[in-house]
Amino acid sequence: MLFVGMIDFTKLDYLKVGNNRQRRAYELISKQRFFEKMNFYSPILAGTVPIEIDIEGSDLDIIFEVDFRFEEDFLEDLMFSKFIPNDRDVKVEYPIINGEKCIIINFIMEDFPIEIFGQNKPTRKQNAYLHMIAEHKILQEKGEDFKQKIIELKKKGIKTEPAFGILLGLENPYEDLLKI
């Protein structure tokens, strides 16, 4: 599922030649061989960092396919990956999103906020990935001025999808972006 720009977001290579924050993210993830160790769960870096609309404090969103019948295996693999710190600053939640159980794990690593998101759905079909692909396509079509307007809205505290919704006149940006 590649659009204009032909970036394969399922691999991390594009980060090596990206902006400073993307290169730092690549170093952090690759030095730990995190994606290799967690490959069974089809990890993808999603969100704002891959498409260069992140702001200071934006987290690295890493999505996974997690079969909750084997949730213990996923958590064990995460711990053995040594990517997640073993301390009190790790927050774990189990929200129900669109009727589906999910796991969200938040922590800080080397000054990067990290969010691990697991859902029992292929990562390429998760909304985080689909939104990122649609947003990337829009950014490619609309250009640098549009991109800067998104970043300015984000700096004012507006989340990514609503920022796109404001600029594109979308009634429900979370759903409407999935149609692009």
Q: What is the pLDDT of residues 87-102, one digit of tens each?
A: 668 899 999 998 999 9
Query: What Rg do the C-alpha atoms of the chain give, in angstroms?
Result: 16
What six digits make up the tokens of 36? Answer: 């290799």
CATH code for 13-179? 3.30.460.10
93-131 burial: b if 16+ Cβ within 10 Å, else e: eeeeeeeeebbbbebeeeebebbbbbbebebeebbbbbb
The 10s digit of each residue's pLDDT in 36-67 is 999 999 999 999 999 999 999 899 999 999 99
Where in the chain are the domains?
Answer: 13-179
- Residue 82 pLDDT grade (very low, low, confident, very high; cuts 50, 70, 90): confident
Structure letter (DSSP) for residue 16: G
Residue 1 has pLDDT above 50, yes or no: no
**What is the end-to-end Cα distance of the chain in Å, rounded?**
12
Cross-strand partners of 63: 44, 117
